[in-house]
Amino acid sequence: MAKKSATAKKLDALLKYIMNEGQVVAHTPPFDSATAQRIGVPPAWFEALTGSATISEQILKLWTPLAKVMPRTRLAYAAHAVALVAVQTGTHPLSLLYCFDLGTQWTAQRGFLPGGPLPPIATRFPVDLSTLYALHDGLVNIASEEDGPMPVEQWHAIADNQGGELMEVLSEGGRGLGFDMSVDPVRTYWLDADSEKDSVREVKDPWAFMDELMASWLERQE
């Protein structure tokens, strides 16, 4: 029996986080067109994941629609991802793992299949998230299922300490980004339960804030 490579072992360790979803099948792009169609690669991913390309080129192509609003995340993912893996499970027909090497182990952000149009409430948001959700309906850490934009079905309203009601769309542990739907125009706030001084902070530029949050931890490794 052939001995598994270090890379294969690190990927196996990642996939253990989603073993509770039933049978897990991993595919590594690039794919030929027939394979891409067979496993259900969506149109938003198809061009990037078919044909000959490096991992960096695949990610840059995937994230082209977001180049203006999330440029740092696009470049950081392209620069630091060591693998791009399409995964099928019993729960999710297909998701995409952006894998990053932490030395002794890998971590990954898991991007789910894009869904349909965003719910009507999203039309009131101060930014149009449809471009992001046209790529992934949620992009979260594979282990914590947080640390990024949540799937639409997980958006939820939470009360802040100022009498508002925030629709949380991004979660990071005890912190989250949400839109205050109780005011017009709708405002964006960052909630940080661990902060003693500034537990609720207004965010003037939601796109820049999300870009910073998702890219900075990778940029610090440069």
Domain borders along the chain are: 6-219
How far separated are the first and last CA of the chain, in Å rounded? 38
For 46-138, where are the E strands, in sequence order? 81-88, 95-101, 106-112
- pLDDT attached to residue 174: 77
- pLDDT attached to residue 191: 86
- pLDDT attached to residue 222: 66
Q: Which residues of the chain have pLDDT under 70?
A: 1-3, 160-164, 193-198, 222
Quote the tokens at residue 15: 């996939």
Question: Which of 150, 214, 40 is CA-nearest to residue 49?
Answer: 40
CB 214 within 8 A of CB 73: yes
CB 96 within 8 A of CB 84: yes
